[in-house]
Amino acid sequence: ELKSFVPVVFEVKKLEEQYDKAFYDVLEKELMEKKFDTMKNTLEFIQSFFKIFVKEAQQKEIDDFLDIKHMEQQFQHDCFSSNDFYNLFSYFFNLLKNLQSVARDEDLEKFQDSLEESKENINVVEHLKNLMQSIKWLIEDFEALKETKET
């Protein structure tokens, strides 16, 4: 009944933080249980996202580099190593460097430095968070650019 309707006010930032925390908690739990579903979906998103911004030749390179089915098999058989995760994140951070605003270079360098420092013992969830944050920034920057062109 509309008379008793009370609007619910959310703090979008807090809601987004709670969602992110829940997502990464589930991802971490699944990785520990040798489940690859959430990671696979995330990698498919990342693959599709980057292919939007690159030329056709580089799209093929992304597909060749990110053979998700092969990665899943390696992961399930304990053959996907810290070095493989390092290479994965390093590849996409380097792609980002060519796509993002120069204003984001310092943030990306911090993420790359963190990756380099943990090369021997990769925290997959931490670096995936960094990669996803970089993707969010790229989207924000494109939206800001679009707004300035419209005005």
Phi, psi of 81 (to 5 degrees): -95, 175
Instruction: Answer yes or no: is pLDDT of 117 > 60.
Output: yes
Instruction: Answer yes or no: is pLDDT of 7 > 80.
Output: no
pLDDT of residue 84: 94
Report the C-alpha gap between 64 and 66 in whole angstroms.
6
Task: List, in order, residues 6 or more apart from 113 with CB less than 8 Å away.
Answer: none
Task: List, in order, residues 6 or more apart from 126 with CB less than 8 Å away.
Answer: 114, 118
pLDDT of residue 124: 95
pLDDT of residue 12: 83
Which tokens in the block code for residue 105? Answer: 């270079």
Residue 40 burial (C-beta neighbours within 10 Å; 0-12, 13-18, 19+): middle
pLDDT digits (tens, 9 = 90+) for 64-97: 999 999 999 999 999 999 999 999 999 999 999 9
Average pLDDT, the chain: 91
Q: What pTM did the predictor assign? A: 0.86
Report the C-alpha gap between 101 and 107 in whole angstroms.
11
Q: Which of 44-53, 61-70, 115-124, 138-147 has the lowest mean pLDDT?
A: 138-147
